[in-house]
Amino acid sequence: MANWTRRGFLGSLSGVAAATSVVAQQRGNLAAPEKRTGHGSIKITDLRCAIIGRNPVVRIVTDQGVSGYGQAESTKPYLKPMVLFYKDYILGEDPTDVQRVMLKIRRLGAFKPWGAAVSAIEIALWDIAGQVAGVPVYKLLGGKIRDRVRAYNGGVRFPMTGQTPQDYAENVAKMKEAKEGFTLIKQAVGFHNPAMMRAMTDGWYDEPRTGASHADRGLMTERGLKQVITCVEAMKKVLGDEIGLALDCGPGWTVKDAITFARALEPLHITWLEDLITGDYMPYPNAEVFREVKQSTSLPIHTGEEIYLRENFKDLIEKQAVDVVGPDPEDVGGLAEMKWIAEYADLHGILIAPHGIFDGLIGLAAHVHLAAALPQNYIGFEYPVGQPEWWYQIVDGLPDPIMKRGFIDVWDRPGLGVTFNVPAAKSRLRDEDRHFFD
């Protein structure tokens, strides 16, 4: 059944794209410089990558003057060679045959961070396909079921002055008053927050580690566990029942501590507990252990930001090991990949809350189109911001303000609907990338 569902869904995406393109041409709504000439299909002539700020930005160039853009997280400025690795695989292909192009490269990626290059390319392909068809990307993903999409706070952060419960209360109070009007806020605690853990005296039965992101793990002491719980209680007291509180927790917790922690917080109605067991940059999901935690608490258990491709969500979903999956479209393999995962999760009673804190403004646009078309198990995506701040001066097409009362209105411009202000963007390019927009 799972195999039939995969084939059927991908086939339906291709069918929707083709049908939409035909309808668009019949209605005559293709922009003159972007429509096909009638002398054969559009072809990819170049794949480029520039590091703008810290975000790797992908540009796919075609022989008909249409370019598509994708983006990877700002935490991955080292990704450029991985993007360019795929150039020879996709040159000469029709970018509007998104699935055909992806069949050539999807198997060559891996868990975070190595699926990011494939994901950024996929997003750029949809951007081109939408422009050629004269429709927004969400139309090619099956059409929208919501006119505005919820995003939760991930990227809007304020400096912490300390690690006491009062410090956490004051910090979320600032998030509560932020101009975006978030209805849901996520905060890092436990092993996902090294500053919190290392401010404790003997917080867990090991020593702090250096190296890969969030390397600490182990059994918490009674003192350490109580400190984390007290900080969460302080935050929830500020937010009340007006604004949801989700917790990014790990990875690194033992099963015993994860269950104790979850049960202690049940009266607070926490929206979810994320990545307690595995997550972030770990190359496996560990579904059996997550399932043990999930079955021991009424609080929703969440994971998935590091996972690449639908196949690696199979155990989490089919074993109902979690309540919420949170793939990142810039890591999981792209927009169609994530739509498939969301549909399959929905069949199993599992919710979806996409990761996205570092996805940048091109990533934000991709999130909006995807979220508009996701099924009703959608909660909200993690709101990314432009970093550095000058990103807002080099990208045109985003709403102003972007977010109103915790939601973003879905726009209808073709493709992703955002473009670079090329003169402004050129001034931010590194010398090695000076020909990126040529």
Percent of the chain scoring above 90 in pLDDT: 89
Spell out where 117-174 has E strands: 148-153
Residues 172, 112: one domain? no
Q: Give the separation between CA 411 and CA 365, rounded to whole angstroms.
A: 9
If you compute the radius of gyration of the chain from its CA atoms, what whole number of angstroms results? 22
Q: Give the separation between CA 396 and CA 375, rounded to whole angstroms.
A: 28
| Residue 181: pLDDT over 80 | yes
Residues 303, 197: one domain? yes
- Residue 289: pLDDT band (50, 70, 90) is very high
Q: Give the separation between CA 346 and CA 388, rounded to whole angstroms.
A: 36
Mean pLDDT of 23-38: 38
Mean pLDDT of 315-325: 98
CATH number at residue 163: 3.20.20.120
Q: Give the separation between CA 260 and CA 404, rounded to whole angstroms.
A: 37
Phi, psi torsion values for 415, nearest 5 degrees: 65, -145
67 domain residue, yes or no: yes
CATH number at residue 67: 3.30.390.10
| Residue 40: pLDDT over 70 | no
* CA nearest to 60, candidates 92, 18, 20, 17: 92
Q: Around Cβ 7, how many Cβ atoms within 10 Å?
A: 10
Residues 344, 384: one domain? yes
pLDDT at 36: 43
* CA nearest to 67, candidates 83, 48, 90: 48
Counting the structural domains of the chain, the total is 2
Mean pLDDT of the chain: 92
Phi, psi torsion values for 337, nearest 5 degrees: -60, -40
User: Please, where are the H alpha helices in 208-334?
Assistant: 222-239, 255-265, 287-294, 314-318
- Chain-centre distance for alpha carbon 406: 17
438 domain residue, yes or no: no
pLDDT at 38: 40
Q: What does the pLDDT look like over 343-392, one tens digit per residue?
A: 999 999 999 999 999 999 999 999 999 999 999 999 999 999 999 999 99
User: Please, where are the H alpha helices in 177-213?
Assistant: 194-198
Yes or no: say if 219 and 184 are a contact pair by the CB < 8 Å rule: no
Q: What does the pLDDT look like over 399-411, one tens digit per residue?
A: 999 999 999 999 9
| Residue 3: pLDDT over 50 | no
Residues 272, 305: one domain? yes
Range of 68's domain?
2-36+44-140+429-433
- 22 contact partners, CB below 8 Å, separation of at least 6: none
- Residue 212: pLDDT band (50, 70, 90) is confident
pLDDT at 211: 84
* More confident call, 15 vs 427: 427
Q: 352-382 burial string, b = 16+ CB within 10 Å, else e? A: bbbbbbbbbbbbbbbbbbbbbbbbebbbbbb
Residues 298, 350: one domain? yes
Residues 193, 85: one domain? no
pLDDT at 12: 42
* CA nearest to 144, candidates 374, 327, 402, 367: 374
Residue 14's region, left for phi above 0, alpha for psi from -120 to 50, else beta, is alpha
pLDDT at 26: 36
Residues 193, 54: one domain? no
Q: Which two tokens stand for residue 253?
A: 């917790």
Yes or no: say if 301 and 307 are a contact pair by the CB < 8 Å rule: no
pLDDT at 304: 98
* H or E segment to which residue 21 belongs: helix 2-27
> For residue 75, what are the CA distances in angstroms to 51, 362, 383, 395?
11, 15, 15, 20
Mean pLDDT of 236-263: 98
pLDDT at 213: 87
- Residue 28: pLDDT band (50, 70, 90) is very low
Q: What does the pLDDT look like over 77-135, one tens digit per residue?
A: 999 999 999 999 999 999 999 999 999 999 999 999 999 999 999 999 999 999 999 99
Q: Which two tokens stand for residue 350?
A: 């599992």
Yes or no: say if 133 and 414 are a contact pair by the CB < 8 Å rule: yes
Residues 82, 175: one domain? no
Mean pLDDT of 286-307: 98
- Residue 30: pLDDT band (50, 70, 90) is very low
Residues 175, 30: one domain? no
* Total-model pTM: 0.90
63 domain residue, yes or no: yes
* CA nearest to 367, candidates 73, 75, 45, 16: 73
* More confident call, 30 vs 248: 248
Residues 123, 21: one domain? yes
pLDDT at 25: 40
Residues 171, 220: one domain? yes
Residues 208, 283: one domain? yes
| Residue 171: pLDDT over 70 | yes
